[in-house]
Amino acid sequence: MHRIILLLLSVLTALHAAEAFPLRPAVECQERGGLPNVAAKIAAGKPVAIAYFGGSITAANGWRVKSLAWFKQQYPKSEFHEINAAIGGTGSDLGVYRCGHDVLQHKPDLVFVEFAVNDGGADPLQIQRCMEGIVRQTWAADPATDICYVYTLTGGMLGDFKDGHFPRAASVMESLADHYAIPSVHFGVEVSARQRAGTLVFRTSKPSDAERAALGDKLVFVEDDVHPTDAGHDLYTQILTRHLPNLLAGTHQPHALGAPLVADNYEKAKLVPLEQAKLGDGWTRLDAATDPRAKSFGERVPSLWRAGKPGTTLAFRFKGSAVSIYDLLGPDCGQVLISVDGGAPTAMARIDGYCTYHRLASLRIASELPDAVHSVEVRVDQVVPDKAKILFDHNRPDLEKDPAKYAGTNWYVGGIMLIGDLVP
């Protein structure tokens, strides 16, 4: 009965949140407070560190690389340094936990935040909590850091633009941009206008030579409905850089945090090294010099550990309201059993349909907990998930070709994500 009541409350909360965030008018750029502190550094010829914080659209060698080149060409007296904090397939729900490690420890002067696509299916209140947490963490670390929201799009969002509105996630983020006077640029306004005019096409697959020839001089913007082609990234860059001169203005001054928009935002979100928890026998800390996974992901996590033997446990106590594990999904991974506050264990596989390779992921343990002391135990399960059933059809041949690659019950962990603090 208790679980049913909680479920009903969560549904009602989500419905209320959706009603509270009507879609915003589709305006390409809102200057708001601009980027005055970056402008002052550029005017003085000082070095500028620019963080690109987002998902796979930002991780690609596209608008991120091209806009950084624009800064260097436009303002040659300043030295520009890139902080690449983009991870494919991730939204602000992971971003708020990794902000300190991936962004703030590198002391950025400007942070471009791009999560509107990967937050597309998230609850509006959750988006607000996470995005506000990122803002407040950033300005608590350095109130002189400027922030700019950039919004990308998918083919599924074109309908909102046709009606003259932003999609939901960007609309929600605009409420925070208003509250904190953060400038924003939506790349989708011009993209959708060109699509309606017939000069730009969205593709869900790569065109054949004949199809490409039939398109003539039309810009093929994407070939998978999400990720821009190089020409698409050129367009994204043109949209951003035509607004940057106006944004790079104003008087140098620290950003004031003031009162939060959402009282229970995730400003206190943190990523805790795994070694601060209680590790049972069977854990191995991986070395980037000898392990390919540690080499690939070591810069993204405080440290990377592997538990390969069934029965190996991770246990800890914390005071707070939410907890997740920053881990990897991969072909040689198994499943884990999760127990919170002594409750019945829940099984979670650490492989999904995409897993012909390893990638960073977030294992949600619990959220919306009372702000009190809670206990967590996660155990590597002896049961091996049916990987052939889990993999997408087009990835199954990889398992058939190399079954040894998929053997194992490994669990790779990079840290503990908390709204709260570990306690003894």
| Residues 196 and 125 sit within 8 Å (Cβ to Cβ) | no
Residues 6+ apart with CB under 8 A from 265: 128, 129, 130, 132, 133, 136
Same domain, 99 and 173: yes
221-224: Cβ within 8 A, 24+ apart = 221/191, 221/194, 221/195, 222/155
Name the nearest CA neighbour of 333 among 416, 415, 413.
413
11 in a domain, yes or no?
Answer: no
* Mean of pLDDT values over 76-81: 98
Same domain, 308 and 204: no
* Mean of pLDDT values over 362-373: 94
Same domain, 171 and 302: no
* Mean of pLDDT values over 161-170: 93
Name the nearest CA neighbour of 164 among 186, 189, 184.
189
Q: What is the mean pLDDT of the chain?
A: 93
264 in a domain, yes or no?
Answer: no
4 in a domain, yes or no?
Answer: no
pLDDT band at 14 (very low <50, low <70, confident <90, very high): very low
CATH of the domain at 200: 3.40.50.1110
Predicted local confidence at residue 333, as pLDDT: 98
Q: How far is CA 29 from CA 187, 188, 235, in A?
A: 9, 11, 15
Same domain, 243 and 286: no
Same domain, 212 and 357: no
User: pLDDT digits over 19-46, tens only?
Assistant: 556 899 999 999 999 999 999 999 999 9
Comparison of pLDDT for 211 and 275, the residue scoring more? 275
Same domain, 294 and 233: no
pLDDT band at 211 (very low <50, low <70, confident <90, very high): confident
Final residue of a structural domain among 247, 279, 294 = 247
**Which residue range forms the structural domain that includes residue 327?**
269-423
335 in a domain, yes or no?
Answer: yes
* Mean of pLDDT values over 208-236: 91
**Model confidence at 293: pLDDT above 50:** yes
Same domain, 185 and 128: yes
211 in a domain, yes or no?
Answer: yes
Q: How far is CA 373 from CA 323, 343, 370, 377, in A?
A: 12, 15, 9, 14
Share of the chain above pLDDT 90, in %: 85
197 in a domain, yes or no?
Answer: yes
**Model confidence at 353: pLDDT above 50:** yes
User: pLDDT digits over 125-145, tens only?
Assistant: 999 999 999 999 999 999 999
278 in a domain, yes or no?
Answer: yes
CATH of the domain at 286: 2.60.120.260
pLDDT band at 347 (very low <50, low <70, confident <90, very high): very high
Same domain, 324 and 409: yes
pLDDT band at 148 (very low <50, low <70, confident <90, very high): very high
Number of domains the chain contains: 2
Tokens of 81: 């340094």
pLDDT band at 93 (very low <50, low <70, confident <90, very high): very high
Predicted local confidence at residue 204, as pLDDT: 76
Same domain, 26 and 174: yes
Predicted local confidence at residue 63, as pLDDT: 98
What's CA 253's distance to the chain center, in Å?
Answer: 29
Same domain, 233 and 278: no
**Model confidence at 308: pLDDT above 50:** yes
Same domain, 229 and 312: no
263 in a domain, yes or no?
Answer: no
Predicted local confidence at residue 420, as pLDDT: 93
Going by their DSSP bridges, the two strands 283-285 and 278-279 should be labelled as unpaired
| Residues 381 and 348 sit within 8 Å (Cβ to Cβ) | no
pLDDT band at 247 (very low <50, low <70, confident <90, very high): very high
Comparison of pLDDT for 267 and 216, the residue scoring more? 267
Same domain, 185 and 300: no
| Residues 396 and 388 sit within 8 Å (Cβ to Cβ) | yes
pTM of the prediction?
A: 0.89
Predicted local confidence at residue 20, as pLDDT: 57
